[in-house]
């Protein structure tokens, strides 16, 4: 793969992408119901249950998009260049992730057309303000990180060179902004001491969110990288990349689990895990499935260097993260009984599908793999 | 694996220079300065306005005087031009509501007036990302509908469940009591109350009246204390009740205001940015020595045992 191929908008679309396309169309239809008929009809939200599945989606997708900064830090700050190709993939998936999270705001917000108010009306007290500002700035940074790939493709060498000069400060700024906003996502829930179940409420929430975002960053890089190897012929990674990521995932999974359980132990609330309520069951599922199980897999010497098992551990960690964010955003929150409507589920699935399709289009048309001189 | 392969990205990493490090340092200093500036404003501007707390507008509700005539509800609807509706909770068209609590054996009962409590340190105002909710110097917490983006963080953060949406609309806004900010003779509900259960005035004089009632009738009121004097950092709506506060739907708040639960996190912001920046810079510098590279090269060689 040394030559740059002409954009291949091919007739052949894989079945999986075709199915995702159908889900995307249905998703946009469900979003249309919200735009035309309103939140009351499209959702099961109410005054005592103002946040639901869409918030979980935002929280989870933003955590996965943490793969962009985590891998960028690993490659460019820790100088682990063997991760360079996977860092480029993580960058694109993070970029796409933030875009679909922003798209979710168009249904989630009551007044999506006023999103620009963020620039004009500041409230620095609000963790949500901090999240918004960091995300907006970080999107700009991500664009600056992504553009060189586009310029490579378009062969705009001078523009590429110009941006390349600033690569290191851009990457550094991205890491700093991400650290700020991943932790302030956790700080949002600090204002809910009476509503959020003690299994999740903790003054450590910002740190838990930050570390679990990095964890899911590695998990996402593993799953996207290994899935992509099946779909894209030109993808190739250095040997040892995935077992390296697996080891990092193991370290971060253990750190997150230790922090969560340790925090409960310090607060003397370990007993809550066994109270056999809806919340405690969800907590057990979250941590057993999403943390303990992948940790065990990654500890087994036979499996820890096997790509298939690393992939399984990655998928489990991704699920653990999703369940954690669902738990924090509605399962563990006091309020009216809530289950998402089909419109909420479909639009969430649709937004996810749009993200994947967007990623597929980018990966098909822009060479994500850095040329290698073997 | 050869050392050459370490530098996969030839264009990026072939010439790591001191200049790169300076660039990192520059980015970091800039980010840090901005972060601490923002967080300093955040902390400096928290706290009361020009009018002392005891002189701010307030409302006092004595549940033992309330007969449940609901004249206050009607007056509120009229004054705020709100639609008539039959609801169980505060809503986009109901800013105040009288509810009846009755124990199962029927031995104990009390009315409770639901409305915005106009907290001294309101969680809604702190949480709103665009500052659409504001604690005024005069006391009332006001909502500026033109700023609102509809994120519903205020509804989530309010411990009293006050901010409400009109869910039937496609592009709804928040609605809540504004303590009749524009009226000169006090809130409409208080003017309409004939049994004297609802009195408007300054917070200082109302607190005095409430405490006099407690002193005159020892044991009559729950815990012999005024709800809102200190609860959740204090409120501008003070409540006296004969039955326990949680039975009439008042949340079990400590004296700590909700915004203070996140205070450590807010204070930590510049340190998070600074920590991330410093860590990044140190790591960047520390991991790029020739020795480190060689060590990395060896390490990479070991990992080749990966199976498919």
For every residue of B7-26, DSSP letters joined together read ---HHHHTT--HHHHHHHHH
Average the pLDDT over B236-261 and give the result. 93
Q: What is the pLDDT of residue B13?
A: 39
* pLDDT value for A4: 52
Per-residue model confidence as pLDDT tens digits over B94-116 = 999 999 999 888 788 999 999 99
The length of chain B in residues reads: 308
Mean pLDDT of chain B: 83
CB-CB neighbors (< 8 A) of A170 in chain B: 27
User: In terms of CA atoms, which chain B residue is nearest residue A77?
Assistant: B284
Residues constituting chain A = 374
How far, CA to CA in Å, does A174 sit from each of A124, A146, A264, B123?
A: 20, 12, 32, 30
* Residue A210 C-alpha, separation from nearest chain B C-alpha, in angstroms: 11
The residue among B73 and B27 whose pLDDT is bigger is B73
Closest CB to B306 among A129, A194, A242: A242
User: Tokens 């960028």 — which residue?
Assistant: A72
Tens of pLDDT along A305-336?
899 999 999 999 999 999 999 999 999 999 88
Percent of chain A at pLDDT > 70 equals 96
Question: Which pLDDT belongs to residue B195?
Answer: 87
Tell me which of B30 and A128 has the higher pLDDT.
A128
- Tell me if B155 and A129 make a contact (CB, 8 A cut-off): no
Asked whether residue B10 carries a pLDDT value surpassing 60, the answer given is: no
Mean pLDDT across A108-112: 93
Question: Is A190–B261 a contact, with Cβ atoms under 8 angstroms apart?
Answer: yes
Q: What is the pLDDT of residue B308?
A: 43
Band of pLDDT at residue A113, cut at 50, 70 and 90: very high
ipTM at complex level? 0.90
Mean pLDDT over B174-196 rounds to 92
Question: Yes or no: is domain B53-263 CATH 3.30.70.20?
Answer: yes
Span A45-338 CATH architecture: Up-down Bundle (1.20)
Cβ atoms < 10 Å from Cβ of A361: 13
Q: What is the reported pTM? A: 0.86
Nearest to A240 among B126, B169, B304 (CB): B304
CB spacing of B300 vs A240 below 8 angstroms: yes
A241-266 vs A307-326: helix crossing angle, rounded to 10: 30
User: To probe the interface with B, which of A169, A222, A237, A341 has the most B CB atoms within 10 Å?
Assistant: A169
pLDDT band for position B152 (50/70/90)? Answer: very high
The pLDDT, as a whole number, for residue B47 is 47
Q: Do B127 and A126 touch (CB under 8 A)?
A: yes
Please determine, for residue B19, whether its predicted confidence score (pLDDT) is greater than 80: no
User: For the residues A254-269, what does the mean pLDDT come to?
Assistant: 95
Q: Helices A342-365 and A84-108 sit at what angle, rounded to 10 degrees?
A: 150
Query: Rounded CA gap, B190 and B184, in Å?
Result: 12
pLDDT of residue B16: 45
Q: Which of A130, A194, A306 is opposite residue B269, by nearest beta carbon?
A: A130
Average pLDDT over chain A reads 91
Chain A residues close to B284, C-beta within 8 Å: 76-77, 79, 168, 172
pLDDT of residue A259: 96
Interface test with B, best of A59, A81, A344 (most B CBs within 10 A): A81
Measure in Å the smallest separation between the Cα of B301 and chain A Cα atoms: 9
| Residue of B280, B290, B299 to mutate, testing the A interface (most A Cβ within 10 Å of its Cβ) | B280
Residue (of B186, B192, B143, B138) closest to B163 by Cα position: B143
pLDDT attached to residue A157: 87
Q: What is the CA radius of gyration of chain B?
A: 29
Q: Which of A40, A170, A370 sits opposite B8 (nearest CB)?
A: A370
Give the pLDDT score at B297: 56
Q: Measuring CA to CA, which residue among B94, B174, B177 is closest to residue B132? A: B174
What's the mean pLDDT in B73-80?
A: 95
B276 and A179: CB-CB below 8 Å? yes
Interface A:B, Cβ pairs < 8 A:
250
Structure confidence by residue, pLDDT tens digits, A163-202:
888 888 899 999 999 988 898 999 999 999 999 999 999 9
Residues A142 and A94 sit within 8 Å (Cβ to Cβ): yes
Residues of A in contact with B273 (CB under 8 A): 176, 179-180
Tell me what the mean pLDDT of segment B210-226 comes to: 94
Nearest to A48 among B161, B261, B284 (CB): B161
pLDDT of residue B129 exceeding 50: yes
Residues in chain B with CB shorter than 8 Å from the CB of A179 are: 272-273, 275-276
With CA atoms as reference, the chain A residue closest to B289 would be A79
pLDDT tens digits for A49-88?
Answer: 999 999 999 999 999 999 999 999 998 888 888 898 999 9
Q: Among all residues of chain A, which has the CA nearest to that of B2?
A: A374
pLDDT the model gives residue B263? 78
CB contact under 8 A, B150 and A112: yes
Rounded mean pLDDT, A134-149: 91
CB A134 within 8 A of CB A177: yes
Are A127 and B266 a contacting pair at CB < 8 A? yes
- Burial (Cβ within 10 Å: 0-12, 13-18, ≥19) of residue B104: exposed
Of B5, B280, B302, the CB nearest to A172: B280
Following DSSP, what letter does each residue of A10-58 receive, concatenated? -S---HHHHHHHHHHHHHHHHHHHHHHH-HHHH---BTTB---HHHHHH
**B84 vs B87: CA distance, rounded Å:** 10
């Amino acid at each position: 793969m040394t030559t740059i191929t002409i954009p291949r908008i091919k007739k052949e679309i894989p079945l999986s992408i075709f199915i995702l396309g159908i889900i995307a169309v249905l998703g946009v239809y469900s979003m249309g119901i919200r735009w035309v008929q309103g939140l009351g009809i499209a959702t099961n939200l109410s005054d005592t249950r103002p946040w639901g599945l869409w918030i979980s989606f935002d929280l989870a997708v933003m955590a996965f998009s943490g793969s962009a900064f985590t891998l960028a830090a690993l490659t460019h700050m820790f100088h682990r260049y063997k991760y360079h190709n996977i860092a480029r993939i993580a960058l694109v998936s993070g970029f796409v992730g933030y875009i679909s999270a922003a798209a979710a705001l168009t249904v989630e917000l009551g007044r999506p057309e006023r999103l620009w108010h963020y620039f004009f009306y500041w409230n620095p007290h609000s963790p949500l303000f901090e999240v918004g500002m960091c995300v907006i700035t970080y999107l700009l940074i991500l664009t600056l990180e992504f553009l060189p790939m586009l310029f490579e493709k378009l062969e705009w060498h001078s523009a590429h060179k110009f941006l390349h000069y600033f690569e290191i400060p851009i990457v550094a700024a991205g890491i700093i902004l991400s650290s700020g906003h991943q932790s302030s996502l956790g700080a949002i829930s600090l204002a809910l001491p009476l509503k959020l179940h003690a299994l999740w409420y903790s003054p450590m929430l910002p740190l838990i969110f930050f570390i679990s975002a990095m964890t899911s960053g590695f998990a996402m890089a593993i799953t996207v990288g290994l899935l992509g190897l099946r779909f894209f012929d030109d993808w190739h990674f250095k040997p040892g990349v995935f077992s390296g990521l697996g080891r990092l995932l193991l370290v971060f999974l253990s750190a997150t689990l230790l922090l969560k359980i340790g925090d409960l132990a310090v607060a003397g609330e370990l007993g809550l895990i066994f109270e056999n309520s809806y919340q405690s069951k969800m907590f057990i599922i979250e941590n057993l499935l999403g943390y303990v199980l992948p940790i065990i897999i990654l500890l087994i010497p036979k499996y820890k260097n096997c790509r298939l098992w690393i992939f399984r551990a990655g998928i489990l960690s991704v699920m653990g993260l999703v369940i954690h964010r669902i738990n924090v955003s509605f399962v563990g929150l006091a309020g009216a009984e809530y289950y998402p409507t089909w419109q909420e589920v479909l639009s969430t699935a649709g937004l996810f599908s749009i993200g994947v399709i967007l990623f597929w289009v980018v990966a098909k048309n822009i060479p994500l793999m850095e040329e290698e001189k073997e | 694996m050869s050392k050459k392969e370490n530098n996969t990205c030839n264009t990026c990493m072939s010439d790591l220079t001191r200049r790169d490090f300076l660039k990192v340092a520059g980015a970091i200093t800039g980010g840090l300065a901005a972060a601490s500036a923002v967080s300093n404003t955040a902390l400096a501007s928290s706290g009361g306005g020009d009018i002392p707390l005891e002189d701010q507008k307030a409302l006092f509700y004595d549940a033992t005087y309330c007969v449940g005539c609901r004249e206050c509800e009607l007056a509120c609807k009229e004054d705020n031009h709100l639609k008539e509706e039959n609801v169980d909770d505060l809503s986009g068209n109901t800013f105040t509501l009288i509810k009846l609590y009755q124990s199962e054996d029927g031995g104990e009962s009390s009315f409770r007036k639901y409305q915005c409590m106009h907290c001294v340190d309101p969680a809604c105002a702190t949480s709103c990302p665009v500052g659409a909710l504001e604690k005024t110097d005069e006391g009332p917490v006001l909502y500026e509908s033109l700023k609102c983006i509809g994120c519903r963080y205020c509804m989530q953060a309010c411990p009293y469940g006050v901010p409400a949406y009109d869910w039937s609309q496609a592009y709804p806004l928040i609605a809540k009591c504004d303590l009749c900010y524009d009226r000169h003779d006090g809130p409409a509900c208080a003017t309409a109350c004939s049994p004297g259960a609802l009195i408007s005035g300054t917070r200082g004089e109302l607190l005095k009246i409430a405490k006099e009632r407690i002193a005159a009738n020892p044991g009559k009121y729950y815990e012999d204390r005024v709800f809102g004097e200190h609860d959740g950092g204090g409120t501008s709506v003070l409540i006296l009740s004969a039955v326990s506060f949680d039975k009439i739907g008042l949340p079990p708040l400590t004296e700590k205001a909700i915004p203070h639960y996140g205070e450590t996190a807010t204070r930590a912001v510049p340190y998070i940015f600074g920590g991330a920046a410093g860590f990044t810079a140190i790591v960047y510098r520390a991991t790029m020595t020739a020795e480190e590279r060689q060590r990395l090269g060896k390490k990479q060689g070991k990992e080749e045992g990966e199976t498919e």
